[in-house]
Amino acid sequence: MRRRYNISFTKAAASGNDFIIIDNKSGELDTRDIDYSNMARDLCRRRVSVGADGLLVLEDSDEAVFRMRIINPDGSEVAMCGNGARCSALYAAVCGWGEDLTIETGSGVLRARARGNNVKIKMSDPKDIKLGVNLGIGHNITTVHYINTGVPHAVHLVDDLEGYKVKEIGRRIREHTLFAPEGTNADFIGDIKGDSAALRTYERGVEDETLACGTGAAASAVILGLLGYVSSPVKIRTRSGDILTVHYNKAGDKVADVYLEGTANVICDGRV
C-alpha cells in the first residue's frame, strides 16, 4: 500500500471474485475529493496491498437503495459487475438496508435478494448479441459469440478447457480491433453436460484470468442457450469451483429476465 487513506473498508467475495467495499452512502467522503481510480490501482494490488479484483464504492441514490460504482484494478470504471453486485447486496443486508433491495448501476437499476449467504440479482436484459463472429488471432480464425450483459463479453467454446491458454488468447481477444476502443471480456466455455458447463474468464480491467465472473457466467449461459446446448436454469462452474446459477426466459432469439444466483461472503473489515 503506497499511502494511508484513513478510510474503513469491508472485503467480500462471491464465487472467487473478491472486492474492497467502500461505504459512502452517507456522503461523508464527498468532501475529501478522493481519486477512486488511484485508490483502486493502489489497494487492489495483490501481495503488496489489500488485493482484490475490484473496488466497489457504494453511494446514495435517488433511484435505488444505493448506487454501486465499480473501479477495476487498472483504475478504469465500468458499468456493471455481477459478482460485485452480489457482494454489495450481501453487505447491504448485513448493514440492515434490506434483504430485498435495488441497486443503481451504470447499466440500470438491478433488483437483489439476499438470504443468508445466498444472493440472487436480476440483471439487465442482454443486448448487442452477435453469434458466430470470426476473429483473426495470429494465424488462426477463432469463432466467438458476442453479447453485452451489462458489460461486453466474447464467448468462445473450447474442447480442452483445462489446458487452454486463457490468459494468452483472452488478452488477444480482449484487445482485438473489432472490439476497440473499449475492449471486451473473454469467456471460455467447456465441459458442457446437460444444463451445466465450466467457465474460465479473462477480465478486462483486471487484465488476467479471474476465479469467477458474474456477467461472464450470465453471458455464457445465455449464449449456450441461444446455440441450443442448454436450457434455463444453467449451472456454471467457475474457476474457483463454486457454482453460479443463471436463470432466464428465452423466446426464439430473444432473452429476458436474466437472474444470477450464488453464494457470497464477507471476509473481513479493516482500515486503510
Burial 193-213 (b: 16+ CB within 10 A, else e): eebbbbbbbbbbbbbebbbbb
DSSP string, 137-200: ETTEEEEEEEEESSSEEEEEE-S-TTTS-HHHHHHHHHT-GGGTTT--EEEEEEEEETTEEEEE
Using omega within 30 degrees of 0 as the cis cutoff, is the peptide bond preceding 73 cis? no
Residue 233: alpha-carbon gap to chain centroid: 19
| Cell, residue 76 | 478504469
Query: Rounded distance, CA 213 to CA 200, Å?
Result: 8
- The catalytic residue positions are 81, 213
114: which strand partners? 119
Instruction: Name residues whose C-beta falls within 8 Å of residue 243's C-beta, 6 or more positions apart in sequence.
Output: 15, 235, 236, 237, 262
